[in-house]
Amino acid sequence: MTQLPILLVDDEDGIRKVLSISLEDSGYTVDTASDVESALSLFHAKHHPLVITDIKMPGRSGIDLLRALKQIAPETEVIMITGHGDVELAVQSLKNDAFDFIMKPINDEVLTFALQRAQERILMRRSLQEYTCNLEELIERKSTQLIEAERRAAACQLFEGLTSSLSAFASNLDNLSVFNQMPMFVSIHNRDKGVVTVNQHYRKRLGDLAGKKSWSMYVGLEDGEKQCPVAKTIETGQAQRESRVVRCVNGNDHAVIVDTVPIMSTDDGVELVLEFMVDLLEAETLREELRTTRHKYEQLFNQSPCFISVQDRDFHINSANARYIENFGDFTGRPCYESLMHRQRPCIECPLQQTFVDGQTHQLETVVTNRKGEKVNILIWSSPIRDASGEMIEAVEMITDITQIRKLQDRLTSLGLLLGSTAHGIKGLLTGIDGAIYRLGSGLEKRNFDRMGDGFNDLQTLTDRMKQTVLDILYYAKKRELNWKEMDAARFTMDLYASFAAKAKKMGVILDLDMGAVLGSFKVDKSILASALGNIIENGIDACAAHPEGKGRVTLKVYADLGQIAFRVTDNGIGMEREVREKLFTLFFSSKGSSGTGIGLFIAHEIVTQHGGSITVDSEPGKGAVFTVCVPRELSVGG
């Protein structure tokens, strides 16, 4: 008998060595462990059927190991080793399903006998399990055979019933209403190869051929019976499928697919033959109509002036039209909010999400970035797509580019807003001019030269201010020529820094200046460029004012090369998501909520662009923002 492998567990190295040698001499394969943890590790790896363990060991005891082994593999047989004074522990181990216990010092014959009995018990259990398993397989196989026999008997009964029914109705197929509803040619033939009856569709198109030979309807059957599908089925008892040509009552020939099915009698072979013929012309007509409809749909889908996508409930894009892919990219299989909106989660006001909730049409106006990096104002419409049962399975999202419309509206809105905001200022200037004219007239009347001088000076000052106000309005109404002046970049920067140092200090924000030693000069319109840069610095100060540790910091760094001056404004404020960054320079978009007008950065972008420069933004949520404004030293002729 082949000896089973053994796991020997004892904390004494000497006992492990002696017992291992003795057991290996008896033909056993032995693995040893010095404690419970290493024993369990070995057991998980090899699943020993026999375990010999000492009861008393440092840390966890042999009884702890016994309990653990029985939970893992209840069929494992465990023999306990105990001293003379540990009888109570030995009894406890037996209560925990130990196979046997051996007293120290260990007698080889006693151990060998215990191992033989344990091994016999294991092998007997395995034999019983194998016999039980074989018995279950035998029962299952016999049950399957019995069920199959019952199915065959039921099928024979059903077939006999069908044959009987068809035989009864063979004289008049009109009684079988199900055949008359089929849009195909159905006929029944007898074993003498004659047509018994036909359905209504057959009678209308091919004629009432009852009583004719089973091949009389075919065109080009030179050999007649030998080529007839019904005759072949009667001869072989097998179903047939062939392509044939039949002649209609109007004289037209039609290609058909013929299927014949034998109806067997219980004793005499084929009793009847059921024949089905499908008109290929009708099928081809339907296929052509389907192709035409699909082509029209694809043309409508791809040639539509809108960007169209079809999405599932997880907002994955299942398909998109050519215009969508051309402008935004092929995002098939990807979530819309990640690929188009550059977000990590669905948009809060997503119209598609609302459509999936209530099944209605919704819309949203927003700004996205196309694959060229351009900002696009879009109007989104969402609508449900339902299956034949009316259940909503997908939704379609139609996007319209309204960028040009919004540019015109923004320009008109901007002009109206600026006119409204300057109305009170102009009114004040006019009031001041009236006062200056009054003082000038009064001085002339009284020949008071001091009064005349004051009135004239006031009138001149107020007229200059009125002129500048009108020029500002014209700047936003349409582009005007800039007042170019050669400026020292260092002086320009110092003046810009000084303008905002006091505000930063008041708001508890540190405003640093990092300026290159040699910046040189550049040609700019000082007042409006300072206004654009000042707006960016002011935004940075506002973003840092709510710093959680009161350590808000904004740094204005200025550096230059031969071609341009660069102004970099860095803050450690709240930062922005990509969606916000892409909309920053859109008119009336503000990340400050109700506290912002959404005009400042739009105007700043316009000013820098008119100077031939550029603005870039780098920001992430919680990591502040970096605005970089690059202005050429001189505007090129093409600019």
Neighbours of 249 (CB within 10 A): 11
pLDDT value of residue 41: 93
321-327 own/partner pairs: CB under 8 Å, 24+ apart:
324/399, 327/370, 327/371, 327/376
Q: Residue 170 has which token pair?
A: 């063979």
SS3 track for 33-71: ECCHHHHHHHHHHHCCCEEEEECCCCCCCHHHHHHHHHH
Q: Is 208 inside any structural domain? A: yes
SS3 track for 243-274: EEEEECCCCCEEEEEEEEEEEECCCCCEEEEE
Q: Of 426, 447, 477, which residue constitutes the final position of a domain?
A: 477
Q: What is the CATH number of the domain that holds 268?
A: 3.30.450.20
Handedness of CA 306, 311, 314, 317 (dihedral sign): negative
As for how many domains the chain has, the answer is: 5
Q: pTM surpassing 0.85?
A: no
Its domain, for residue 382, covers: 304-401
pLDDT value of residue 596: 44
Q: For residues 528 and 597, is the Cβ–Cβ distance under 8 A?
A: no
Q: Is 580 inside any structural domain? A: yes
pLDDT value of residue 474: 57
pLDDT value of residue 78: 92
Query: Are residues 396 and 410 part of one domain?
Result: no
Query: Are residues 264 and 184 part of one domain?
Result: yes
pLDDT value of residue 502: 76
Q: What is the CATH number of the domain that holds 47?
A: 3.40.50.2300
Query: Are residues 492 and 619 part of one domain?
Result: yes
pLDDT value of residue 39: 92
Q: Is 154 inside any structural domain? A: no
Provide φ and ψ at 39, rounded to 5°: -65, -45
Per-residue pLDDT tens for 338-393? Answer: 877 777 888 878 888 889 889 899 988 888 888 888 888 888 889 998 887 888 88
Query: Are residues 19 and 60 part of one domain?
Result: yes
- Scan for tokens 């039980």, then name that residue: 132
pLDDT value of residue 496: 86
Query: Are residues 23 and 106 part of one domain?
Result: yes
Provide the b/e sequence for 18-30 (b: ≥16 CB within 10 Å): ebbeebeeeebeb
Query: Are residues 528 and 563 part of one domain?
Result: yes
Q: For residues 270 and 282, is the Cβ–Cβ distance under 8 A?
A: no
Query: Are residues 495 and 473 part of one domain?
Result: no
Q: Is 262 inside any structural domain? A: yes
Residues of the chain with pLDDT under 70: 1, 84-85, 147-178, 222, 266-267, 283, 408-425, 427-428, 464-465, 467-481, 586-600, 636-639
Query: Are residues 123 and 31 part of one domain?
Result: yes
Q: Of 127, 153, 183, which residue constitutes the final position of a domain?
A: 127
Q: For residues 239 and 261, is the Cβ–Cβ distance under 8 A?
A: yes
Q: Of 236, 257, 285, which residue constitutes the final position of a domain?
A: 285
Q: Is 12 inside any structural domain? A: yes
pLDDT value of residue 566: 93
d(CA 35, CA 53): 9
Q: Is 214 inside any structural domain? A: yes
Per-residue pLDDT tens for 30-71? Answer: 999 999 999 999 999 999 999 999 988 888 989 999 999 999
Query: Are residues 610 and 490 part of one domain?
Result: yes
Query: Are residues 122 and 254 part of one domain?
Result: no
Query: Are residues 365 and 424 part of one domain?
Result: no
| SS3 category, 558 | strand
pLDDT value of residue 45: 92
Query: Are residues 207 and 248 part of one domain?
Result: yes
Q: What is the CATH number of the domain that holds 536?
A: 3.30.565.10
Q: Is 157 inside any structural domain? A: no
- With a CB cutoff of 8 Å and minimum separation 6, the contacts of 505 are 511
Q: Is 136 inside any structural domain? A: no
